[in-house]
Chain A
């Protein structure tokens, strides 16, 4: 039963992820991305990571993808040019990532993904949300703070970029 659910989610994720790049209409691409986010959240739920599942939907589906749709609709792109100058870079990057994935799969000894029950046992006792909080603010405090610093830099950059025109006008 569990593996059946896993293969359902995994299958839909694969299909919709392919559709994101294969579909011609950017709106449809964004919507298949939405379906994919929901199924990734479903996978998290099967791994007893309900907090991650909710955050996945709030952040990616609820905020980031809405902004994507916003931009696509504002620009009113009907048919996007699919093959352009980026294709060479895309092929190189894709080949690298594919090789890495293949190496990972063939070199690993045991199952690729550790058993959910063994690694999630700590989360069972205190609850997933609490254990994420404890780990984030103790073991991974430094990476956590670095991530927030990177986000701050991005925020400052966005403000500067949007204010650039204003400064030029004044001077």
Chain B
């Protein structure tokens, strides 16, 4: 019973740490996104709050926190209040299976635990897919319960978009799973150890570069970011499914979008770029240094993907709805399925390489 208590406390600490870091990253991202966009458009970005505007997230947070919480007339109150939670929880829950560092087991008062992954379950990647697909409910219900045509249209668009692109995400990672022979995020990371030529983006027998392109396009679509932000297209739908939301409930949707971005970046770096592994063995260090360099490389990769998200937001125009659907079903889906076929042939012909 004592062991169970310690284990429980340790897991709670891990969850609190991961949640804290994720929410802190969200705060950093809100500033970083505005700054990166501004620099790309030859502007300064937020400069007023603090030196170079670095306290802008705090100001934004306080503003959202003190805003009046408005529930529109004719809205379905219960669903309206539940939808932001339903959208935020699945976004945060996925971080439970992400390995942030080496797969070490630490002995803590007779209880063994893994400090760098909250849990290593044998269906890790399926778990993430399952909960990202649940995130759609928050958006659909938020759109429906607002009793507004803009919101409803945004919600419905998002439902169609999420279902279409979820399939592509699921199929594009099958190649990686075939080469690893496991669904556990920890084992997928370990299979890519020993340098960047072992990362699945480059690895023989069949580099998963095409699968990665499909994955990252579908991931952008799943997180409702530009150029796939049809559910919240400002120029046509005001703000889409969260038109009627204000204050903290709006903040929840906002947090969910950014948490999803971070989650997708984590998954991309674990599946295709070796997670916490350094590109060259010499850069990994040795002994007890490994966890420090591991976390450093992981953070670096995740931030590189997040920068990519901002970059395409500044570059690409929004797709039209029929273009989005045609692209998902007629271009990405066949490529993803073709990648599975080719990868399985190569994995069969060159086993264990």
Contact = CB atoms under 8 A, between A and B. Distances in A.
Q: Which of A50, A54, A128, A129 has the most CB of B within 10 A?
A: A54
Contacts of B131: 57
A40 interface: no
- Chain B interface mostly helix, strand, loop or mixed? helix
B155 A66 contact: no
A59 B127 CA distance: 12
A144 to B, nearest CB: 17
A58 B170 contact: yes
B186 to A, nearest CB: 14
A165 B255 CA distance: 43
B133 A57 contact: yes
Given A51-B123, A63-B166, 13 more contacts: A27-B141, A50-B123, A54-B129, A62-B130, A62-B136, A69-B144, A70-B140, A70-B156, A70-B159, A70-B160, A128-B122, A129-B123, A129-B183
B44 interface: no
A51 B79 CA distance: 31
Interface string A51-76: 10111011001110011011001100
10 contacts: A27-B141, A50-B122, A54-B129, A57-B130, A57-B134, A61-B133, A66-B163, A69-B140, A70-B160, A73-B140
A58 to B, nearest CB: 5
B139 to A, nearest CB: 10
Given A61-B133, A62-B134, A55 B126 contact: yes
Interface of A: 27, 31, 34, 50-51, 53-55, 57-58, 61-63, 66-67, 69-70, 73-74, 127-129
Q: Which of B121, B126, B130 has the most CB of A within 10 A?
A: B130
A54 B130 contact: yes
- Chain A interface mostly helix, strand, loop or mixed? helix
Closest 5 CB pairs of A and B: A62-B133, A54-B126, A57-B130, A50-B123, A70-B159
A58 B130 contact: yes
Contacts of B88: none
Contact of B133 (A51, A58, A74, A129): A58
B137 interface: yes
Nearest to B129: A58
Contact of B121 (A50, A55, A61): A50
B123 A34 contact: no
Interface in B140-175: 140-141, 143-144, 152, 155-156, 159-160, 162-163, 166, 170
A74 B79 contact: no
Nearest to B177: A129
Interface in B104-138: 121-123, 126-127, 129-131, 133-134, 136-137
A13 B166 CA distance: 27
Interface in B165-221: 166, 170, 183
B144 A54 contact: no
Contact of B134 (A53, A61, A73): A61
Contact of A27 (B79, B129, B134, B163): B79
Contact of A66 (B122, B123, B136, B144): B136
Interface of B: 76, 79, 121-123, 126-127, 129-131, 133-134, 136-137, 140-141, 143-144, 152, 155-156, 159-160, 162-163, 166, 170, 183
B129 A73 contact: no
A66 B144 CA distance: 13
Contacts of B156: 70, 73-74
Nearest to B166: A62
B136 A73 contact: no
A76 B87 CA distance: 22
Contacts of A27: 76, 79, 141, 144
Contacts of A50: 121-123
Given A27-B79, A51-B123, A69 B159 contact: yes
Contacts of B141: 27, 31, 69
Nearest to B155: A73
A66 B183 contact: no
Nearest to A65: B137
A108 B336 CA distance: 47
B126 A51 contact: yes
Nearest to B79: A27
Contacts of A128: 122
Given A73-B152, A129-B123, A129-B183, A66 B170 contact: no
Contacts of A51: 123, 126, 183
Contacts of B163: 63, 66-67
